[in-house]
Amino acid sequence: MKEKRIEDFTFERVIHDCSHVMMSSHSHARFEIYYLLSGECRYFIGNRILTVRKNDIILIPRGVMHKTVYISDVCERILLHFNGDFINPVIVPKFYRFFPNYIYTPTEDNLPRIHQTFLDIERECQSPDEFSYELLKGSITLLLSEIARSAHSGKEENFEKTNIIIDDAICYMTANYAENLTLESMARRAMLSESHFSRLFKSTTSIGFKEYLNMLRIREAQRLLLNTSSSVCEIAFSCGFNDSNYFSTLFKSVHGVSPLGFRRANRQL
């Protein structure tokens, strides 16, 4: 793995094989751009399941839960992490329109320019100097502006045709994550056996039922930590956890920091 950091900007180029498993969904306090150089993977982001192929670009906004499952024998990708300072203020109001449904597929015309911009970013990160920060800001502006010119070309067919039973289950879980949802109750609601529902959920989403439910709860807990003064215990119970210690352990496994640590590091005072 090649990883380079420059003042709140991180560049990674990594080759994965299908044995690589991202153990849990997670989110970041910075923007992330994922560029697949080769292979194919399935990307879970927000409440979406995407099939990502060579040359596709994914935008992961700050705070959005996501997970990658690699399908091909070998995949190579570039990953950029950066804070909002790297995005030109003129672009910010239009930022999310550049990536319809989080994904963008370059056109034959602009792929060479987009690919070269990623290579320029890599080269700058390999040999940084006093001008690198501003040059990287310019490269991000160039990349997003190039994408903006043809953002309408984002391909809806990248979305998986989710099994209607699981689609309904996901909608129900998203609306009722704070309730006492169990595999048994969800399987009964879908009129399936627990084992059948569990297999169908995992094969459709690439994420287990319990992990998905916890992801929804952690995402809401993250929002409450940043936007309310509620205690960790109060937040845990309001999000559907019946054990605040378990909640804190799970939160740290996802974010790498305790709930209070996350609040202190990210809350806007």
Q: Starting from the edge strand earliest in sequence, which strands make up the sheet with 66-70, in order?
A: 48-53, 40-45, 66-70
Over residues 102-123, mean pLDDT: 94
Report the CATH fold assignment for 2-158: Jelly Rolls (2.60.120)
pLDDT band for position 246 (50/70/90)? very high
**Class of the CATH-defined domain 164-266:** mainly alpha
- 3-class SS at 34? strand
Query: pLDDT tens digits for 185-195?
Result: 999 999 999 99
pTM over 0.85: no
Share of the chain above pLDDT 70, in %: 84
pLDDT band for position 250 (50/70/90)? very high
Q: Which two tokens stand for residue 14?
A: 């990594």
Whole-number Å distance between alpha carbons of 78 and 141: 17
Over residues 51-57, mean pLDDT: 92
Least confident segment among 16-25, 28-37, 257-266: 16-25
Containing 196, the helix (H) or strand (E) segment is helix 194-205
| pLDDT the model gives residue 269 | 44
